[in-house]
Amino acid sequence: LQALGLKPGARLLDYGANWGYMSWQFQRAGVDVTAFEISKPRAAFGRELGVTIHTSLEEVGGGFDMVYSCHVLEHVPDPAESLRQQLALVRPGGLVVAHTPNGSQTHREKHPDVFHRTWGRVHPVLLTDQFVSHAAGEHPFLITSDDAPESVRTWDQQSQDLRDTSGEGFFFAIRR
């Protein structure tokens, strides 16, 4: 996330924070974190760690520099609506960033055994590069399986950049 410009003091929404471990790490790095988790028991556990976790999206406000989710979108009933919500919570020029399992055609073709083990069993939805590029509309985006900082850093944040998506992981950033 630092490779995308996240700096100490930046406002970040941890969307689908689970029990708050990532939020806790972001706080320790100096990021101004707001966390959202729909599961009230998980949010309560995170609060015991000193992380403020909201269980209603209406409570989180907006104007974030970045909204980040890690292995969340494949579990929501409407990923497109979730992405629209996240884009609305980001300030102009801000980013929506996500890690998810990979449902892209190139990954399915390269690793059919992995795809068939995960789709529908562990993850109800596997996102594809076509889905993300459609959901991004005219917004600049980066879609890739390579989330290494040195690779992510090369995205100009102005273009629609579709890279190799054959790896197990799926990473994308959409700039509002």
Q: pTM (2 decimals)?
A: 0.91
CA 30 – CA 10 distance, rounded (Å): 8
The DSSP secondary structure of 90-134, one letter per residue, reads EEEEEEEEEEEE---HHHHHH-HHHHHHHBTTTBS----HHHHHH
Per-residue confidence band for 165, with pLDDT thresholds at 50, 70 and 90 = very high
Distances (CA, A) of 152 to 27, 35, 41, 105, 143: 22, 24, 34, 21, 10
The pLDDT of residue 150: 97
When mean pLDDT is compared across 20-34, 90-104, 105-119, 129-143, the lowest value belongs to 105-119
> Would you say residue 50 has pLDDT above 90?
no
Which one, of 50, 60, 49, lies nearest residue 16 by Cα? 60
Q: Are 12 and 29 in contact (CB under 8 A)?
A: no
- For range 63-74, the mean pLDDT: 96
The pLDDT of residue 10: 98
CA 16 – CA 14 distance, rounded (Å): 6
Vertex 97, ends 77 and 95: CA angle to 5°? 115
Neighbours of 28 (CB within 10 A): 9
More confident residue, 111 or 35: 35
> Would you say residue 113 has pLDDT above 90?
no
The pLDDT of residue 141: 98
When mean pLDDT is compared across 2-11, 118-127, 152-161, the lowest value belongs to 118-127
CA 165 – CA 170 distance, rounded (Å): 7
Tokens of 50: 């000193």
The pLDDT of residue 146: 96
CA 69 – CA 107 distance, rounded (Å): 21
Query: Which amino acid is located at 132 in the chain?
Result: V
> Would you say residue 116 has pLDDT above 70?
no
